Structure 1
Amino acid sequence: MKAYKHLSITVTDKNVAIVKMNHKQSRKFLHANLVQELIKAFEKLNEDKEVACIILTGDEETFIAGAEIKELTGISVSEAYESAEKMKALQKLVVHSAKPYIAAINGYCLGGGLELALVCDIRLAGENAMFGLPEVNFGIIPGGGGISRITEIVGKSNASKMIFTGEMISAIKALEFKIVSDIVEDPLENAISLANTLAMKSKLAIATAKKLINRKHWPVNYQENVEQEIYAFSLLFDYPDSVEGMGAFLENRNPIFKNE
């Protein structure tokens, strides 16, 4: 398997591919280079006839701690839209794959990291996992379909609270909200065990079931919803609040929004 800078891929003897993000290189954030490498990796794994299941994981402290704010600071509306489109392309590779994707989550799973986890078929959380959509703190909104998906999973009231406050929730609360299927001591170990079980099943049966499970996620209306999110996300980069929110984060201070 091709060597990557920001992630590593290991294929077990049970034909399970483990995609582990190298946070020493990526600084725990979902930056543009990591997104591009994930796209290439998922494309290859989806095409590999031997691979039966894909596991996505980070390290013991972080799954993905959101977008790289430095990359978003000062960008134009069109650049923001292009960034969100890349995320959509990455997510489609997971949703439209015939193979099951399992997210093994330790530590922080925030922003774009949560949006990526939400498109995985199964999500396992460690006891230390924390989930959130903190974009409001930067004067923007989730730009990768997170609003539609989290609302579908947790309901309008819970989704509104998460999105409006930007606060993180614990693994226990995420289980209660059905964001994850299980809380386990070792998410990666449990994901491998589950993937080994899935690898023994009929690939055609799983592919067919996955297509039916996901059929309501990418119909015309859902695609329109995601496009509206991407468009709204992008337009916020033309307003002062996004500049203040991201600047405050990079300067390690509380943002002061004018709210005019």
Structure 2
Amino acid sequence: MGKTYTHITTEISKNVATLRFNRPEQLNAMNREMMDEIIDGIETINADDRVHVAIITGQGRAFMAGADIKEYGSQTPEQFKSFQDRGIQLYDSIENAPQPWIAAVNGYALGGGFEIALSCDMILASETAKMGLPEVFLSLVPGGGGTQRLIQRIGINRAKEMLFTGGQYTASVLFEWGIVNHVYQTHEFDAEVLRFAQKLTRRPLGALKELKRLAHLSLSPLPFHQKITEEGKTVSHLFHGAEAKKAIQDFIDKT
């Protein structure tokens, strides 16, 4: 992609972008420099017309074990506010990206790491992955949308359990709870994630972008009838576009 980073790597292959956290000796814990790199990497990927689907994952045995506590705990009030503001920007840059983002949770995803996964459109997990929000042990609460996005995914009762206990939950449990979309065997994980992402690239990008936008619209406070109206406008706009006309004609020609 033409950029070299210290704490992450990025690449694009066959319309799939991959951003990989690369501080494996620290379990990919995020410091300020790494956060800036992640934001730059995400925004660069989002702006690249070649990218139809993006994957975010970790190097080594962790996805991301949250913030780098040594740096986090020594921040001044000004540095802390800046760190929190940049974190919100990071999560928003994934959630509000035009194309789908997949969290490929290869290992521990804790604290801010789990919040990054929750900001993605889907979570694919290795069978050995563990996820959670342990902030309560530090007399803190999640500060990157973890409480709100978690409740949206699984409802308030189970969200409270995860938040109150601060526990680490296995991929299989979170699959049953509806947070994780698929769980793959560790030795097949990378190949299965890529296979899933490539399947999405075979769907028309225009429709994918609109599906993501409409799915997020469903969580907005707009009246239901306005959401349905927007859905109708969207299908009409797509129907009259060249991409849909070609797809419909190709389908007719095959029957």
TM-score, normalization by structure 1: 0.79
Shift of 1:181: 0.5
Q: Which residue pairs with 1:252 in the alignment? A: none
Q: Which residue pairs with 1:16 in the alignment? A: 16
Q: Is residue 197 of structure 1 aligned with residue 199 of structure 2? A: yes
Q: Which amino acid aligns with 2:115?
A: E
Q: Which residue pairs with 2:133 in the alignment? A: 133
Output the CA distance in 1 between the equivalents of 2:78 and 2:220: 24
Output the CA distance in 1 between the equivalents of 2:91 and 2:74: 25
Q: Is residue 71 of structure 1 aligned with residue 71 of structure 2? A: yes
Shift of 1:81: 2.7
Contact 1:105 1:187 (C-alpha < 8 Å) held by counterparts: no
Q: Structure 2 vs 1, CA of residues 61 and 128 (structure 1 numbering), >3 Å: closer, same or farther?
A: same
Give runs of aligned pairs for residues 175-214 of structure 1, distance below 5 A. Answer: 175-185=175-185, 186-214=188-216
If you compute each CA radius of gyration, which structure gives the higher value, 1 or 2? 2
Shift of 1:218: 6.5
Contact 1:6 1:26 (C-alpha < 8 Å) held by counterparts: no
Q: Secondary structure at the match of 1:99?
A: coil
Output the CA distance in 2 between the equivalents of 1:187 and 1:164: 31
CA RMSD of aligned residues (A): 1.8
Give runs of aligned pairs for residues 164-183 of structure 1, distance below 5 A. Answer: 164-183=164-183
Output the CA distance in 1 between the equivalents of 2:64 and 2:35: 11
Greater shift after overlay, 56-65 or 183-192? Answer: 183-192
5+ long unaligned stretches in structure 1: 221-260
Give the total of aligned pairs: 219
Output the CA distance in 2 between the equivalents of 1:27 and 1:132: 15
Deviations 1:145-186 (A, max 9, x none): 000111121222211121111111111111111111011123
Q: Which amino acid aligns with 1:199?
A: T
Output the CA distance in 2 between the equivalents of 1:75 and 1:214: 34
Q: Which amino acid aligns with 2:193?
A: A
Contact 2:104 2:193 (C-alpha < 8 Å) held by counterparts: yes
Q: Which amino acid aligns with 2:143?
A: G
Give the fraction of aligned pairs with identical amino acids, expressed as a percent: 33
Q: Structure 2 vs 1, CA of residues 42 and 215 (structure 1 numbering), >3 Å: closer, same or farther?
A: same
